[in-house]
């Protein structure tokens, strides 16, 4: 039974997608943990509901719609930082307004409910070879950017004062990260859905933080946790006929809980 599953075309595509996405989650998730930016990921991903509505309305790919709205949201967010209201107030207002607008638009397209559900919760088993190629190209570009800009990201993670003394443009780096995160969410949401993609970034990184001594260790361990969570979640999805996204997140949480207990016991 097991070998029959792993030999199926859609399952192989799912494994490839998990490997591709996991190569990026390690670095992005770790940076989100270091700078306490998980709330930004949630805001961007949840606002992507409007992107789904835009895709249905304009008859374009869901990834294109999500990408468009996510980048616009990231730019608005970057512009709004250090304005009259605190960042959490701005996020709460903007995110909920965009989500509400998206849900209002989607209510006019009941026939698209199936696509909407897949966008919200993901369905890695429906990925095509074309989807995988695009996902791989996006992941490659992100990895190259992360490697090229890693020094600046790491300095900002340590201290804003140190960044300023080194002449680092903190505002630009934050905008850069938000745009990269938006692009990642747009193309990786097919794996676990736009509602859960931030959890797939943060939970493996939080698990890795418990046992890591260096930033590089944290990224590597986070990547490994993402891969195993994805594969196990995919197997459970096939066995119980459940959306893989929520199962992948639950497996990630089990890893986190296990490592937390081990860490507490050792210390």
Tell me: pLDDT of 3 over 50: no
Q: What are the structural domains of the chain?
A: 2-262 (1.10.3470.10)
pLDDT of residue 169: 76
- Which of 85-89, 124-128, 200-204, 215-219 shows the lowest mean pLDDT across its residues? 85-89
Burial class (CB in 10 A: 0-12, 13-18, 19+), 264: exposed
> Read out DSSP for 198-223?
HHHHHHHHHHHHTT-SSHHHHHHHHH
pLDDT band at 223 (very low <50, low <70, confident <90, very high): very high
Mean pLDDT throughout 155-179? 76
pLDDT of residue 2: 47
Judge if pTM exceeds 0.95: no
Cα separations (Å) of 255 from 8, 204, 207?
A: 27, 8, 7
Mean pLDDT throughout 134-147? 91
CA 214, CA 68: separation in Å to the nearest integer? 35
CA 133, CA 123: separation in Å to the nearest integer? 17
Tell me: pLDDT of 185 over 90: no
pLDDT of residue 112: 65
Report which secondary-structure segment, H or E, holds 29. Answer: helix 9-34
CA 98, CA 109: separation in Å to the nearest integer? 17
Name the more confident of 82 and 57: 57
CA 243, CA 122: separation in Å to the nearest integer? 7
């Amino acid at each position: 039974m097991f070998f029959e599953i792993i030999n199926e075309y859609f399952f192989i595509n799912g494994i490839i997608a998990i490997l591709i996405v996991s190569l990026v989650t390690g670095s992005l998730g770790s940076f989100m943990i270091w700078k306490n930016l998980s709330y930004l990921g949630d805001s961007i991903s949840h606002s992507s509901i409007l992107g789904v509505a835009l895709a249905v309305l304009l008859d374009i790919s869901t990834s294109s719609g999500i990408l468009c709205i996510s980048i616009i949201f990231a730019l608005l967010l970057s512009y709004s930082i250090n304005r009259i209201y605190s960042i959490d107030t701005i996020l709460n207002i903007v995110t909920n307004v965009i989500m509400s607008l998206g849900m209002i638009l989607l209510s006019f397209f009941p026939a698209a409910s199936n696509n909407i559900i897949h966008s919200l919760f993901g369905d890695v088993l429906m990925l095509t070879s074309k989807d995988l190629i695009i996902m791989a190209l996006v992941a490659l570009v992100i990895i190259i950017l992360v490697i090229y800009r890693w020094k600046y990201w790491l300095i900002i993670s340590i201290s804003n004062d140190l960044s300023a003394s080194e002449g680092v443009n903190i505002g630009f780096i934050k905008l850069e990260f938000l745009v990269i995160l938006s692009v990642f969410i747009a193309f990786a949401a097919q794996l676990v859905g736009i509602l859960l993609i931030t959890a797939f970034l943060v939970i493996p990184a939080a698990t890795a933080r418990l046992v890591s001594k260096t930033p590089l260790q944290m990224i590597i361990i986070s990547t490994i946790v993402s891969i195993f969570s994805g594969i196990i979640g995919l197997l459970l999805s096939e066995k119980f006929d459940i959306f893989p996204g929520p199962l992948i997140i639950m497996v990630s949480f089990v890893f986190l809980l296990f490592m937390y207990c081990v860490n507490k016991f050792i210390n």
